Amino acid sequence: MWGGRFAGGPSAIMREINASIPFDKALWRQDIAASKAHVAMLAAQGIVSQDDAAAISGGLDTIAGEYEANGVPENWDLEDIHMVTESRLAELIGAAAGRLHTARSRNDQVATDFRLWVRDAIDQADQGLAALQRALVVRAGEHAGAIMPGFTHLQTAQPVTLGHHLMAYYEMTARDRSRFADCRARLNQSPLGSAALAGTGFPIDRQATARTLGFDAPGRNSLDGVSDRDFAIEYLTSAAQCSLHLSRLAEEFIIWASQPFGFVTLPDSLSTGSSIMPQKKNPDAAELVRGHSGRIVGALTSLLVTMKGLPLAYSKDMQDDKVPVFEAAGLLTLCLAAMTGMIEGATFRIERMRAAAELGYATATDLADWLVRQANIPFREAHHITGAAVKLAEANGLALDQLTIAQLQAIDPRIDERVFAALSVDASVASRASYGGTAPEQVRARVAEARTALGLE
């Protein structure tokens, strides 16, 4: 490839540091598709003959079949997927293969392939998120009225329902899907035809190749088309945020599955044992989801640092853009599948959850709210009275609703027998009927909306 300019070939070191075929072979489907679109346009514009275009397109189909059956050969002397494919095309059809690269550069070629690959990765992530959402919504519907403790600072705060808790993750994943959708919309401009950096003097039809490849339009600036990777960074940003949500959900399952909590039994298929302790059932899949989120965040950081100081247009540093994206996409796919399986296969121990909610004075806020509503006491004063009641109950080893009316009235005489109707966990969750609250009626309404949005109705 360099024979006209260089007297000798690259050194062994240069060959090794320069070759990207070990990882960019993952782009072969996109590279074949973009090349076929390009040569069809060249023929339509009269830039290459119809016979040469047909030979090139047929050869590319043959190569695609070979790659599908046997994988992409790693010829480091040919550097990358583009040259490996072009070399094989020359073996198949002869000199006509050299016409394929008319009016394009490897710069716009790889930018196009990479956008197509990231677009496919976004679609895959969306499918995985939709599957996770369906699992969350189904289980939330099953447990819309199952009471569990809600936490702040990992301390018992107020009773909530398990359905409400699971639907919180539905909302998070809905935003994750919207971020990926926004990223997809922004990246969907075709760089093909930008050539090396300045466009081309051939009378190409960039609108035609953009349409063929499913882009909304060709990019408006050739320098920008070949030199920016903000679409990949935005993909990784969306993937990182999604992975953080998955990590939080995984962490909750890890805690809930521990013996002190005992809120959930995880499926055997997503758990492992111990090499020395036969009683162990470890939540390894959840722990790996939690760990993989760090690697995905690291992939984002890697690409941010790679791109931060590059002048226009293309620099070889950008060869390192693909590995973090490929790694993050693979990890995200695994994490989504693991958490979906975990939600679907988990056995929730709702009696244990309810018992935990009845401890820890989770209805203290309900006592304060009752004092505000029924005794017309300012909330700050009600908060103080309730704190005194909690202190008394704790000193006597009692739940709030186990205090006698005499004990409560000794704290404040404005408390009467009606208060006990507000102090059960059932009354507490039922009272939280504001829009988006934990009341079972609200949870069922949100589940119904989500089922409609997901096409489950």
Report in angstroms the alpha-carbon separations of 19 from 78, 79, 369, 388: 8, 4, 68, 71
Q: On the CB side of 232, how many CA atoms lie within 13 Å of its CA?
A: 34
CA distance 95 to 297: 46
Q: How far is CA 443 from the centre of its chain?
A: 25
Whether 164 is catalytic is no
Report in angstroms the alpha-carbon separations of 185 from 120, 157, 403: 13, 41, 60
Whether 194 is catalytic is no
> Are the beta carbons of 439 and 433 closer than 8 angstroms?
yes
Cβ-based neighbours of 301, under 8 Å, separated by 6 or more: none
CA distance 361 to 394: 9
CA distance 371 to 373: 6
Give helix 440-453 / helix 106-142 axis angle, nearest 10°. Answer: 140
Look-up of token digits 């690959």: 117
Out of 153, 269, 275, 434, the active site residue is 153
Out of 178, 258, 274, 315, the active site residue is 274
**Which of 189, 208, 210 is closest to 42 using CA atoms?**
208
Query: Which residues, listed in sequence order, are joined to residue 282 by a DSSP beta bridge?
Result: 272
Element (H or E) spanning 190, and its range?
A: strand 189-190
> Looking at residue 96, what DSSP letter applies?
G
Residues designated catalytic: 153, 274
